[in-house]
Amino acid sequence: MPARPTPTRLPQDADQVLRLAAQSMFDIFARTALGMMVVDRQHRIVWISEGYKHFLPALGFEREQDFVGRPVEEVVPNTLMNQVIDSGRPIVLDLLTNKAGTFLVSRLPLRDEHGQVLGAVGMVWLNESPDHSQSTMQPLMAKFSRLQKELEDARRELATQRRPKYTIASFIGSSAVVMEVKRQARRVAGTDSTVLLLGETGTGKELMAQGIHAGGHRATGPFVGVNIAAIPDTLLEAEFFGVAPGAFTGADRKGRAGKFKLADGGTLFLDEIGDMPLGLQAKLLRVLQEQEVEPLGSNRVERVDVRIIAATSRDLQAMVAEGRFRADLYYRLNVLPIRLPPLRDRAADLDALADHLLEDIGRRIGLPVPKILTADALELLAAQAWPGNIRELRNVLEQACLMTDELVLAAAHLQPLLGGAGELQASPASKADAGKPLHRAVAALEAEAIRAALKATNGNKLAAARMLGIARATLYEKLGHLE
């Protein structure tokens, strides 16, 4: 039987040597590091070196006694000292960035004789100061600083792109119905409640959504809009909730954030909410209630803080009755409904709208455009049904601007561009509508305009919708009322 090895015995003074070595190393670190701190098991700072005191003003502290004794995560932004204590694992080298600067740091756990973590010690070795330009670590620090600046610049640019372009004042008009809409919008802008914008296509729902966002406390946050009708049903879930890294074949290895995540801290505008498939409506309802999203292919739930503004040109109540829209989602969205009036109900705003649109058209096309509409031109415009509303009005004015060099637009310039809609106003059928209630007369004009467009396009509904300046879904909805 082989002899059992004799255990190595440490000299009797080994403990003393180890203690002296530890003390010596601690003293060396305290002298050579730019700064040093010790934190106890409860994450409280119990000691800082003389060098570390130089960082206190940048961290917002004037006196050492106001800093020492506080939990480290409360007074040192982005610190990982608490994680070192909780995990017992050292972080030998790391880059730390906060309002005091960017630093090369080490974080080591402190243990007792039984191996239990008592706290941690942190050392600051290097910062981005020119004084350390000769350091072998300076290239790494410089690269990190450059990448961080590029990231911050990209974030600022992205934030600028997602800021609203319009305010509530951008909704042009001073008619009674428009002033009431603006009053309602200003009232809800200061809340976080869900808003439902109702109105025909082209009435300015997205503009009003941006205005409500800009008028509230989320104005500095992102405004993210998504047109549900423009996205294939199969892609909607990924568009809303995002995709985890490698969730499916061909997916981005880094993953992709969804619209809810992009809008975190700001507003998500859901345009044409009536076009959302029933299957996705249940998932949307859960996100609205819980303020949590789960990316495709992930088991991790992410919290989001998003204000919802939805919009539709459809009759959601009728869709609920027909089983095409969830009642619970409708009630969740219909908290603060605002109905935007069609252009035919605000003829008093035509003059101001035309002036604003002509100015914008001139700026965009880069050509001199007419600045004035004659009285007969305004009278002709006021007589139209405008199924495409302000979008259709803009289209007519832009065409007129491109087809004439004159600086005054008269009815003669506009009449050829109004097509069947212009002829309707002088037709016997239109005259026969005299004396009818306004909504019935408007409905009759819309019906005739739709029939004329379908006839002119040989029944092509997409082409007819474009001619009328309305969405194809809106045309189908109006056709349903005609049948």
Per residue of the chain (483 residues), give pLDDT as tens: 445 555 555 555 666 777 777 777 777 777 778 899 999 999 999 999 988 998 899 898 989 999 999 999 999 988 999 999 999 999 988 888 888 878 888 999 998 888 899 999 999 987 765 554 445 556 666 666 677 677 676 666 665 555 678 899 999 999 999 999 999 999 999 999 999 999 999 999 999 999 999 999 999 889 999 999 888 888 888 899 888 876 555 555 567 888 999 999 999 999 999 999 998 999 999 999 988 988 888 778 889 999 999 999 999 999 999 999 999 999 999 999 999 999 999 989 999 999 999 988 888 888 777 778 888 989 999 989 999 999 999 999 998 888 888 888 888 888 888 864 434 344 444 444 555 555 566 677 778 778 777 776 667 777 777 667 677 777 777 777 665
Task: Work out the burial of residue 42: count CB atoms within 10 Å of its CB; fewer than 13 is exposed, 13-18 middle, 19 or more buried.
Answer: exposed
What is the end-to-end Cα distance of the chain in Å, rounded?
104
Residue ranges of domains in the chain: 22-127, 168-339, 343-482
Please say whether the structural domain 22-127 has been given the CATH code 3.30.450.20: yes
| pLDDT of 426 | 40
Considering the segment(s) 168-339 as one domain, its CATH architecture is 3-Layer(aba) Sandwich (3.40)
| pLDDT of 94 | 85
Please say whether the structural domain 343-482 has been given the CATH code 1.10.8.60: yes
User: Cα–Cα distance between 318 and 324 in angstroms, integer?
Assistant: 9
Q: Please give the order of strands across the beta sheet that includes 336-339.
A: 223-227, 267-271, 307-312, 195-198, 336-339
| pLDDT of 173 | 92
| pLDDT of 362 | 86
What's the alpha-carbon Rg for the chain, to the nearest Å?
A: 34
| pLDDT of 422 | 39
| Sequence-ordered alpha helix ranges (H) in 162-191 | 176-189
User: Cα–Cα distance between 260 and 176 in angstroms, integer?
Assistant: 36
User: Cα–Cα distance between 366 and 172 in angstroms, integer?
Assistant: 23
pTM above 0.85, yes or no: no
